[in-house]
Amino acid sequence: MKILDVLHKETILTDLKSKDKKGVLEELVAPVALISGMNSEDLVRVLMERERLGSTGIDGGIGIPHGKLKELDSLILGFGLSRKGVDFESMDGRPTHIFFLLFTPENSTGLHLKLLARISRILKDDVFKGKLLNAKDNDEILSIIKEDDEDF
């Protein structure tokens, strides 16, 4: 499976407006809720519960909010860019700019961990991150990810 197998153009947001964690999560969840038919408030609640365990804001301007849902049949992935950056309580204390949002079915722990690892690995590449940060639209984001997309 590749990242582009689960990332849909409609779930890519290239200009997040929110300035705080909950607002960003609400923005990221909106298109995912539409595609999945899930309630956006429920999705945000699952993410906020996960955030209470520890921030999913890792270092280097990256956030990978994620959660598991009983009602979900397959992986759902979203992407967002915050041009100005958001205080996402990252490990390095710096603003977060690049977000990958991940929801997986409750019983798919292996797949969940593989996708998290894959996303973390590609985001360690500064050239890749720079391209994402400078992308103008959804098509460009998809094209950049396609260049690096491998099975996980």
CATH number reported for the structural domain that contains residue 42 in this entry: 3.40.930.10
pLDDT of residue 107: 87
pTM given for the model = 0.94
pLDDT of residue 86: 95
Average pLDDT over residues 18-42: 95
Average pLDDT over residues 97-103: 97
Which neighbouring-strand residues pair with 87?
A: 20
| pLDDT at 7 > cutoff 90 | yes
- Residues in contact with 141: Cβ distance below 8 Å, sequence separation at least 6, in sequence order: 12, 14, 79, 81, 132, 135
Look up the domain containing 92 and give its range. 3-148
Query: Of 8, 66, 97, 112, which is the active-site residue?
Result: 66
Cα–Cα distance, 52 to 22 (Å, whole number) = 12
Average pLDDT over residues 75-100: 95
Q: Is 8 a catalytic residue?
A: no
Q: Are 111 and 75 in contact (CB under 8 A)?
A: yes
What's the total number of domains in the chain? 1
Give per-residue burial for 23-48: e unless 16+ CB within 10 Å, then b: ebbbbbbebbbeebebebeebbebbe
pLDDT of residue 149: 85
Confidence of residue 71 (pLDDT cuts 50, 70, 90): confident
Average pLDDT over residues 55-64: 94
Q: What is the mean pLDDT of the chain?
A: 93
